[in-house]
Amino acid sequence: MEKIDKKSSVVNDKNQLISYSIWEEVDTILWLQNNEKNYNVILCNKQLIDLFLSWKKWEQFRINALSIIYNFLTKRPEYSKLILNSSNENVLADLQKRFDILVEWYKSVIISLEKYFDNESWFYTDSNPGWFSIKQKKEKIDWVNYKLYTTFPVKQYSFISKLIDLSLKLDELSRTNNDFISIKIPKNLLWFLTHSDSLVIHFKNKNNRFEIEKILNEWISSNMLIEENRNLWRTKFAIDSKDKLSFSELISKNISNWLSENYWKYDNKLLVDLAIKYTIEAGQNVPKINGEKLD
């Protein structure tokens, strides 16, 4: 734990002047002013209109519409602004080159976390191209997968070096209150910079929600982190569907199907405006189980 906590983030080292010049560039590239519009809305509108003008097969239309809606829900508005203002198709590759020092630091901490938790008898780690997870070695209770989402500003990417403490506190709760709790974070810096969810806590026992929130908030405060509103002011508490779809995937599926079913009923602009409206509203509402809200 000490080895990770003592790692110095390059942007927090005042002797590293180059790090501050890097973040000045981040401010230019990946930061929105308070009075700016949500660029996810602008990008989604453009992409859906373009899709209506270019589609050829319905099945491909649904697939493309689903992808557009999913990105609308899950990407940072800063990233959408970058896409809109860039004619370069290799935006992510360029970001990686610009922030290579930070990319390597982030990668080194993930490796340290893997070593720490994989050597612990009670934990293990799991990864896919987008996400890195810290999980408990115990039997899962059932299919139910509740989630709490947290978004941090891009400048706070070094929060990952403080995750051991949070994991251990959540583990104590899990043992006391019969739960299976895991943490998920972006696997690499680029995913963190582009994805709107910085930290996701998965759990099975709904009764532990408020205790988990208390532990999370205390951890955020003790590490002097600042939490942002989730993209589009979406609900911070959700649940996966029974067919294992995330709440974002479920909304994207429903909206893309709705677009297909109503294509002939409205003109393109109105249809797109309604799709965006329904998507935002769906994302802001806590999902229901058997018609009852989780709250």
Q: Which CATH number fits domain 2-26+97-228: 1.10.3210, 3.30.2430, 2.60.120, 3.90.25?
A: 3.30.2430
Average pLDDT over residues 172-190: 93
pLDDT digits (tens, 9 = 90+) for 212-254: 999 999 999 999 999 999 998 999 999 988 778 899 999 999 9
Q: Could you tell me the end-to-end alpha-carbon distance of the chain, in angstroms, rounded to an integer?
A: 35
Read off the pTM: 0.85
Q: Is the pLDDT of residue 1 over 80?
A: no
* pLDDT surpassing 60 at residue 291: no
DSSP 3-state of 192 = helix
Q: How far is CA 94 from the centre of its chain?
A: 21
Which residues, 6 or more positions from 128, have their beta carbon under 8 angstroms from its beta carbon? Answer: 187
Give the model's pLDDT for residue 216. 98
pLDDT, the chain, mean: 84
Residue spans per domain, the chain: 2-26+97-228, 31-87+242-293
Concatenated DSSP letters of 63-79: HHHHHHHHHHHHB-HHH
Q: Could you tell me the sign of the dihedral formed by the alpha carbons of 41, 47, 53, 58, in that order?
A: negative
Dump pLDDT digits (tens) for 80-118: 988 888 877 788 788 888 888 889 999 999 999 999 998
Task: Select the more confidently predicted residue: 243 or 6.
Answer: 243
Q: How many CB atoms lie within 10 A of CB 42?
A: 16
* Burial per residue of 50-63, b for 16 or more beta-carbon CB atoms within 10 angstroms, e otherwise: ebbeeeeeeeebbe
Q: Is 234:284 a contact under the CB 8 Å cutoff?
A: yes
